[in-house]
Every structure is written in structure tokens, then in C-alpha cells.
């Protein structure tokens, strides 16, 4: 990496990528974003777990986080019998502050979308990417996209179905007995969903791959891949950020800000 200049490359324009651009500017660097220039719809995103400097100005709310069934029942329902790692019902306190991710992302998009250079990031395209022109390269795109063909690397993940509300797409949340700023995790066999939430006025319902939402009366849910772990070592000079960039469970959106700041400060 060329550590003498003050320009950084950022791959991806989702929340982690635009947070990286924001933190680069905060640290006195000039970010250039390489991505398909499409804003994230944020379906299923619930909230930020920590404030981000010069971005989150509104006061936080307190989110209540509850569970029915045991931790082990919840883990098996979401991730299957093989996954033995921690789940959110273990790592999050029952009541904790939350910041509005949609408000933050709208501000990030308005401030940074003009910096996006259209670019389809793949392991092939990154082979010719001018990395040496930048002090650092951060990637928030799925790490599996950077894995060079022919490498015997493992990417562990789970698949779920999710339905997230938008201003024009709503759920009858009364059917799920959930109040605002509340997350309920369900490890029991019935009902079929494993997590339902309403935070900052937006609802989300999620089902495991083995319990599709077809019997819940909701249509239009999306199939989502949730990264768990990987052992990829391709492009070691690219700094991977965000849950998808690092392909690692337990990575929250605000961690991208902390990681970029730690590198650039």
C-alpha cells in the first residue's frame, strides 16, 4: 500500500462501505468508492448498536430484547445443529440503546453517492485493480466475491427468509404481538418465525430456511445469506469490514467505523 498519499479506496456502497467513507473523511483522507451505484434498501436492518461520530445526531431509544424458548433451542432453530457459536440472545443485554440506521444511511448516501465510481467488484476484477494508487483499500462487499477461483477456502453461512418494512411496504404487526422498539426471539417450534421486531417504527420478521414463511400469510419475503465464518486469505492487502466484508458472525454495522478509524487515525 502507498501510505504516503491520503486517498483510500472503498469497495461497496452499503452501510459499512459508506460508513468507511465517512470515517475516512473524518480522519482527513479522501475516499473513492467503487461499487454498483445502487443504494441499499435496508430491508431487515434494525438499528445501530452504537453512535457514529458526526453522523448519528438523534437521541437513541431503548430497545427491549426478549426470548421465548431456550438459547439452545433458538440457536438450533436459526443455525441448525452444527453451529455452536454465540447468538444474539446471549451477547446482547435485555435493554440497550439503539440509533436509527435508516436516518444515518440516508445521510451517508446524500453525502457520498457522488463519490461512487461504477465498478463490479469480483475476484477477477480485483486482480487488475490499482491498489497501489491508494493508501488503503477497504472492502465491504461479500468476502466470498474476492475469493480467487481454485482456492480451497471455506465460507460458512446460514440462509434465512426475511421480510422488512419500508415506507411503502408494511406488515400487520398486530399478528406478531410486538410493540415498537422491541425484538422478540423465538426458539420454539411454533410459531414458525424465529425473530420479529419493530424498531424506529419499522417491522421485520425472519424465518429459518427449514421453516419458510409460506404458512405465515406473508408473501414477498427475501432469501438472505447470513455469514458465519471463513478461512479465505485472498488479497491480504485489502482490509475487510462489515459482516459481509469480513464474513463473520457477531460483526455489527458500527464496527466498520471503529475498524476504519483504528487504521486511519
149-178 tens-digit pLDDT: 766 899 999 999 998 888 888 877 666 778
- Does 204 reside within a domain? yes
Q: List, edge to edge, every strand of the sheet that includes 95-98.
A: 95-98, 61-68, 182-186, 195-199, 202-208, 155-164, 222-230
| Same structural domain, 163 and 34 | no
31/256 Cα distance (integer angstroms): 15
| Same structural domain, 112 and 225 | no
- Give residue 213's pLDDT: 82
- Does 172 reside within a domain? yes
- Give residue 33's pLDDT: 98
| Strand-pair partners of 239 | 138
Which cell goes with 226? 447470513
DSSP state letters, 40-83: ---TT---BSS--TTT--SPPEEEEEEEES-HHHHHHHHH-SS-
Domain region containing 124: 1-41+102-150+231-265
Domain count, the chain: 2
Find out whether 1 and 239 touch, Cβ atoms under 8 Å: no
pLDDT in tens, 105-120: 999 999 999 999 999 9
| Same structural domain, 122 and 214 | no
Find out whether 52 and 97 touch, Cβ atoms under 8 Å: no
Decide if pLDDT at 127 tops 80.
yes
Using a pLDDT cut of 70, give the percent of the chain over it: 95
1/264 Cα distance (integer angstroms): 13
Higher pLDDT, 264 or 83: 264
- Does 176 reside within a domain? yes
| Same structural domain, 94 and 106 | no
| Same structural domain, 259 and 163 | no
- Does 54 reside within a domain? no
- Does 183 reside within a domain? yes
pTM of this structure: 0.92
Amino acid at each position: 500500500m502507498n501510505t504516503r498519499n491520503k486517498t483510500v479506496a472503498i469497495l461497496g456502497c452499503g452501510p459499512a462501505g459508506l460508513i468507511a467513507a465517512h470515517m475516512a473523511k473524518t480522519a482527513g483522507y479522501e475516499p473513492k468508492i467503487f461499487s454498483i451505484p445502487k443504494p441499499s434498501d435496508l430491508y431487515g436492518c434494525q438499528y445501530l448498536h452504537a453512535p457514529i461520530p458526526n453522523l448519528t445526531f438523534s437521541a437513541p431509544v431503548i430497545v427491549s430484547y426478549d426470548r421465548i424458548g431456550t438459547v439452545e433451542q433458538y440457536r438450533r432453530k436459526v443455525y441448525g445443529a452444527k453451529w455452536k457459536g454465540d447468538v444474539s440472545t446471549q451477547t446482547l443485554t435485555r435493554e440497550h440503546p439503539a440509533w436509527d440506521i435508516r436516518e444515518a444511511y440516508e445521510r451517508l448516501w446524500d453525502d457520498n453517492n457522488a463519490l461512487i465510481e461504477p465498478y463490479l467488484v469480483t475476484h477477477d476484477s480485483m486482480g487488475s485493480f490499482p491498489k497501489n494508487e491508494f493508501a488503503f483499500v477497504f472492502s465491504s462487499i461479500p468476502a466470498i466475491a474476492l475469493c480467487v477461483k481454485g482456492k480451497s477456502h471455506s465460507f460458512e453461512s446460514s440462509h434465512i427468509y426475511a421480510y422488512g418494512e419500508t415506507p411503502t411496504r408494511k406488515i400487520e404487526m398486530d399478528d406478531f404481538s410486538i410493540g415498537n422498539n422491541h425484538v422478540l426471539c423465538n426458539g420454539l417450534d411454533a410459531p414458525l418465525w424465529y425473530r420479529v421486531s419493530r424498531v424506529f417504527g419499522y417491522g421485520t420478521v425472519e424465518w429459518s430456511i427449514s421453516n419458510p414463511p409460506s404458512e405465515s400469510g406473508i408473501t414477498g419475503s427475501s432469501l438472505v445469506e447470513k455469514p458465519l465464518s471463513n478461512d479465505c486469505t485472498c488479497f491480504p492487502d485489502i482490509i475487510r469490514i462489515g459482516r459481509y466484508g469480513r464474513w463473520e458472525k457477531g460483526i455489527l454495522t458500527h464496527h466498520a467505523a471503529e475498524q476504519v478509524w483504528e487504521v486511519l487515525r
